[in-house]
Amino acid sequence: MPGKPFPTDWFLRARLKLRHMQLFLALDEHRNLHRAAASLNLSQPAASKLLSDLEDALGIQLFDRHPRGIEPNRYGALLTRHARLILSELGEVGAELTALQAGHSGRVQIGTVTAPAVEYLVPVIDRVQQAHPRLRIAVELETSDVLIDHVQHGRLDFALARLSKARDPSAFLYEEIGEEELSFICRDGHPLQALGRPAELEELIGQRWALPPRGTLLRDRVDSMFRSAGLPEPTQVVESASPVMLTAMVASTDFVTVIARAMAALFQGQDRFAILPFSQRFTVEPFGIVRLRDRPLSPGAATVLDAIRAAIVTVG
């Protein structure tokens, strides 16, 4: 039988405290009551009582106890997720109060996939920091799934990323920017450059490839490109999730890899890499600006986002 609905002021009735939220995060991290209590400078009995009192007040168990430790059940996971957001927000309030007191403009945390990092973020950050020299900007370069998780958990103000169909779109605001064009790169002097013309897909099958692992966006796009043309996938493939490793392979060998065209343009000017001319335009699905629908941006984040929007219009 379903329980009674929780009243809107349930947290007041249950006497939910910030200490409870800190304990949720510590338990989620350590999965051990003793270590979680120690990380908060609490005794184990005090931490145990803090958790038990809240569970009694709510009438539900939040964490499952096992001989080897403790872990959140679905109720505990829900409260832990929201506690992380609340504590992150409170941390940002403190940082912004300090910044305002000192004449700073706060901190902005942005996530991005490769292409917009080069095309939009670098010039935008340059302009914004010239206008607001005390604005602190942190940029995380990752895959879209990781970035969207960090947006959802309050670790990023917004991201330039892809919002997959597996996500609940109602939780996010999404502004599409455009497709990400890709390029094949090889070392300067690669035999394929001697063709004197754009390479055909059939000529790429027998090449040695340095590629991300299967299941990643770029790898799936490369494999699907061959399959769609009725061609076999390349068999000489070295896999690595590290862009540094992939480009290092290309720089000193006859391996070929694929990266965002904006990044390839940076490499091309180093006399070590060359963009391999290709007979087709090669893209992956569009990316856009992703942020939480119910989380207002700080003044600093709004300033950077407005500058990005202006840059998109200019580049477009």
Claim to verify: residue 38 and residue 157 sit in the same structural domain:
no
**At which of 29, 55, 85 does a domain end?**
85
Claim to verify: residue 201 and residue 170 sit in the same structural domain:
no
* Residue 150 forms part of a structural domain: yes
Q: Average model confidence (pLDDT) for the chain?
A: 86
pLDDT tens column, 200-255: 888 888 899 999 998 888 888 889 988 998 999 888 999 998 888 988 898 889 99
Label the pairing between strands 172-187 and 283-292: antiparallel
The token pair at 236 is 């000489």
pLDDT level of residue 2 (50, 70, 90 thresholds): low
Look at the chain and report how many structural domains it folds into.
3
* Residue 46 forms part of a structural domain: yes
Claim to verify: residue 163 and residue 188 sit in the same structural domain:
no
Of the candidates 9, 30, 131, 26, the one whose C-alpha atom is nearest the C-alpha of residue 83 is 26
Contact between 118 and 310 (Cβ < 8 Å): no
3-state secondary structure of 272: coil
Claim to verify: residue 172 and residue 311 sit in the same structural domain:
yes
pLDDT at 315 (0 to 100): 62
Counting residues of the chain whose pLDDT is more than 70, the rounded percentage is: 94
Sign of the alpha-carbon dihedral angle for 90, 91, 96, 97: positive
3-state secondary structure of 281: coil
pTM higher than 0.85: no
pLDDT level of residue 139 (50, 70, 90 thresholds): very high
How large is the average pLDDT for residues 84-93? 85
pLDDT tens column, 151-191: 998 899 999 999 887 788 888 999 998 888 888 888 888 88
CATH number of the domain enclosing 266: 3.40.190.290
Claim to verify: residue 174 and residue 187 sit in the same structural domain:
no
Of the candidates 315, 260, 307, 28, the one whose C-alpha atom is nearest the C-alpha of residue 158 is 307
Domain of residue 65 covers 10-85
**At which of 55, 85, 115 does a domain end?**
85
* Residue 28 forms part of a structural domain: yes
3-state secondary structure of 288: strand
pLDDT at 1 (0 to 100): 41
CATH number of the domain enclosing 34: 1.10.10.10
Claim to verify: residue 134 and residue 272 sit in the same structural domain:
no
**At which of 85, 114, 134 does a domain end?**
85
Claim to verify: residue 205 and residue 270 sit in the same structural domain:
yes
Tell me: pLDDT of 103 over 50.
no
* Residue 151 forms part of a structural domain: yes
pLDDT tens column, 248-282: 898 889 999 988 888 887 776 666 888 888 777 88
Claim to verify: residue 119 and residue 267 sit in the same structural domain:
no
